[in-house]
Every structure is written in C-alpha cells, then in structure tokens.
Amino acid sequence: MTIVEPIAPEESRLFFGNSYMNAVVIEIAALEGDTFSPKQIVQATGLLGSIVHPLIHKLRDAHFLEFVGRVPGERTLLYRIRDNYWWEAARRYAADRASSTDRRDTE
C-alpha cells in the first residue's frame, strides 16, 4: 500500500516556484467534468481568490488551461484543462491522495 503524502508549501515552492501552485493543480486535476471555475478551486483549496486567480492565469498563459468563456448572465469565468502528460500525472496524484484518505478514514 502506497501512502501519498501531500506536497507541503515548501515543496510546492521548490517544484513550481509558488507555495500554492501544487494545491491548485491537484484540485483542478481532481475535478470531474469538462469545465471549471476559479471559484470551485477557491472552495476546494480554501485559498483566497487573490491567490488562485493569478495561478490559473499562469497555467493558462503556459497553455495548460484554456479559457472557455463565462457562465451566461454571470461574471464567472470557465476554464478547461488542455490534456497532456503533465495533467495525467496530476490526476494520478489526486486519485492516489483521495484513495489514501479514504483508506485512513475506514481504518
């Protein structure tokens, strides 16, 4: 049994140059569905919107995400993952993390 430990902010800073990028990436990867909003990531991570929005913009500027549009009649922005091997690795990490959490809850 592999236990996936969460990447700490210090390790996130080492890998991504930002203390919170790993949390944002993992929550995006863990979402089910075609599109997501920054608000969903704010709620999932507990981070401030002022932290999440710039990180999503960085991912978009690096072509890891694409802007889809707005929710009709709202200001809510929608994004979609641009699939590549990097996101697949993030999805695996998110799934392993979720299953190790589930196992701990049942023990």
Crossing angle, helix 38-45 and helix 49-61, to 10 degrees? 130
The domain spans of the chain are 9-99
Give the number of other Cβ atoms within 10 Å of residue 65's Cβ: 19
* Per-residue pLDDT tens digits for 6-43: 567 888 888 888 999 999 999 999 887 789 999 999 99
* Per-residue pLDDT tens digits for 37-94: 999 999 999 999 999 999 999 999 999 999 999 999 999 999 999 988 888 888 888 8
Check if CATH label 3.30.2130.10 holds for domain 9-99: no
Give the number of other Cβ atoms within 10 Å of residue 27's Cβ: 21
Crossing angle, helix 49-61 and helix 21-30, to 10 degrees? 80
